[in-house]
């Protein structure tokens, strides 16, 4: 996705949450100084079925959805659930807020990690990104891309994983471990989950594909242009 297509949506997100664009740009610049360009050719997912694993409590009961996937992508702590169940992981997507040691271990074993920069995770970026094996780190931002840091769309770890898969040519996306109405999350996270649903609905229209994870709720989603 080009930033020119993403930016109008990004502006809506900033306005809705009252987030600071300058803060996102500062975080992006910090990350850009700590990572090098990632060789995207090593993630050739053209035409493949990609499983996007969210971190909801339902994930452990839905892992059979990974059985027919060619590629497995996990958001945040979903990476731990997937690995502990014995599945191979192809990419972890994280903003380094919950299980950074997992990201360290993955990069050390040659598994890529897409690390996101945003206005309130600069301390985590500075502490943890230098511990990652740089060769296996894809730096991402929700602001304008700079240097080695890309923006392929997405806001939360989960929907950003789907946008990354789309960018890398995925033929079909399947979802496990998603709960847009999770009663256990706080008000801010609940609002982010609603945005994740809006972004996935936008992505499925762009792909001319219907994601089963949105079945039964499309009529409730305020569509993005």
pLDDT in tens, 96-123: 999 999 999 999 999 999 999 999 999 9
d(CA 130, CA 13): 29
Q: Quick one: average pLDDT of 47-73? A: 98
Which residue's structure tokens are 């100084």?
33
pLDDT (0 to 100) of residue 187:
97
d(CA 21, CA 85): 39
Per-residue pLDDT reduced to its tens digit, 180-195: 999 999 999 999 999 9
Backbone angle region of 86, left / alpha / beta, with phi > 0 → left and psi within -120 to 50 → alpha: left
Complete edge-to-edge strand list for the sheet that includes strand 49-53? 137-141, 113-117, 91-94, 71-75, 49-53, 172-176
- In the structure, what pLDDT confidence band is assigned to residue 143 with cuts at 50, 70 and 90? very high
pLDDT (0 to 100) of residue 194:
98
Per-residue pLDDT reduced to its tens digit, 156-211: 999 999 999 999 999 999 999 999 999 999 999 999 999 999 999 999 999 999 99
């Amino acid at each position: 996705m080009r930033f020119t297509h993403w930016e109008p949506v990004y502006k809506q997100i900033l306005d809705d949450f009252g987030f600071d664009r300058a803060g996102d740009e500062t975080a992006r610049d910090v990350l850009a100084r700590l990572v090098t360009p990632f060789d995207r050719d090593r993630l050739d997912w053209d035409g493949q079925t990609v499983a996007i694993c969210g971190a909801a409590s339902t994930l452990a009961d839905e892992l059979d959805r990974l059985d027919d996937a060619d590629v497995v992508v996990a958001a945040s702590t979903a990476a731990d659930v997937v690995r502990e169940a014995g599945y191979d992981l192809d990419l972890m997507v994280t903003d380094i807020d919950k299980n950074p040691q997992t990201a360290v271990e993955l990069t050390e074993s040659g598994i890529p990690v897409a690390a996101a920069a945003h206005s309130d995770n600069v301390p985590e970026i500075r502490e943890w990104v230098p511990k990652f094996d740089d060769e296996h780190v894809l730096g991402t931002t929700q602001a304008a891309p700079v240097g080695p840091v890309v923006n392929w769309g997405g806001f939360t770890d989960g929907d950003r994983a789907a946008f990354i898969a789309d960018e890398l040519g995925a033929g079909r996306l399947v979802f496990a471990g998603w709960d847009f109405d999770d009663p256990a999350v706080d008000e801010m996270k609940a609002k982010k989950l609603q945005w994740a649903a809006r972004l996935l609905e936008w992505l499925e229209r762009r792909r001319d594909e219907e994601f089963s994870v949105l079945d039964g709720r499309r009529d409730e989603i305020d569509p993005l242009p």
